[in-house]
Structure 1
Amino acid sequence: MSFWRVLLSIICPPLAVLDKGCGSIIIVFILWLCGWVPGVIAALIILNNPNR
């Protein structure tokens, strides 16, 4: 996980997970709409998972 990905996930979480698939983008986007913190946490978890 690079510095730029972490920074992008803090600023706009859905953009950070663009290459992880449509499901990840939708989940992060919905959580981001519910609140900034859940979206950031979900994006960081998805980016930290090496299997996705």
Structure 2
Amino acid sequence: MGAASAILLVLITILLPPLGVYAVAGCGADLFINIILTCLGYFPGHLHAFYIEYVYYDRRELAKTGRPNHARAPIIYSDRVQTGGYGYGTGYGTIVQPTG
């Protein structure tokens, strides 16, 4: 994702925090938690959404430079966010090439 998509994601998150979380983490526990936090108050939903986005982009940049962070970030359940999108879903549905 480039800078333009990151800015667009921030604007979406300002308007509706769960939509920003869904764009980064997908449908899962993080989205459910963010929906609950947003219903409890608009500010807690924003904090949670921007934290998830920060971790995602930070892990993405670290992975690009070859220094992935393997420690799990607290309160984030999405593997996609934990890895910065790298390595997410690898090995599922892949075809092994014949060797002979």
Aligned-residue identity in percent = 31
In the alignment of these two chains, the number of paired residues is 52
Q: Which runs of 4+ in 1 moved over 6 A?
A: none
Task: Report how far residue 17 of structure 1 moved.
Answer: 1.1
Task: Pick 1 or 2: higher relative contact order, CA cutoff 8 A, min separation 6.
Answer: 1
Q: Which residue of 2 aligns with 1:11?
A: 15
Could you tell me which runs of 5 or more consecutive residues in structure 1 were left unpaired when the two chains were aligned.
none
The residue type equivalent to 1:31 in the other structure is: L
> Normalization by structure 1: what TM-score?
0.87
Question: Greater helix share, 1 or 2?
Answer: 1
Q: Could you say what the CA RMSD is over the residues aligned between the two structures, in angstroms?
A: 1.5
Q: Which residue of 2 aligns with 1:37?
A: 43
Distance, in Å, in 1 between the alignment partners of 2:47 and 2:21 is 12
Largest Rg, 1 or 2: 2
Could you tell me which runs of 5 or more consecutive residues in structure 2 were left unpaired when the two chains were aligned.
60-80, 82-100
Q: Which residue of 1 aligns with 2:29?
A: 23
The residue type equivalent to 1:37 in the other structure is: F
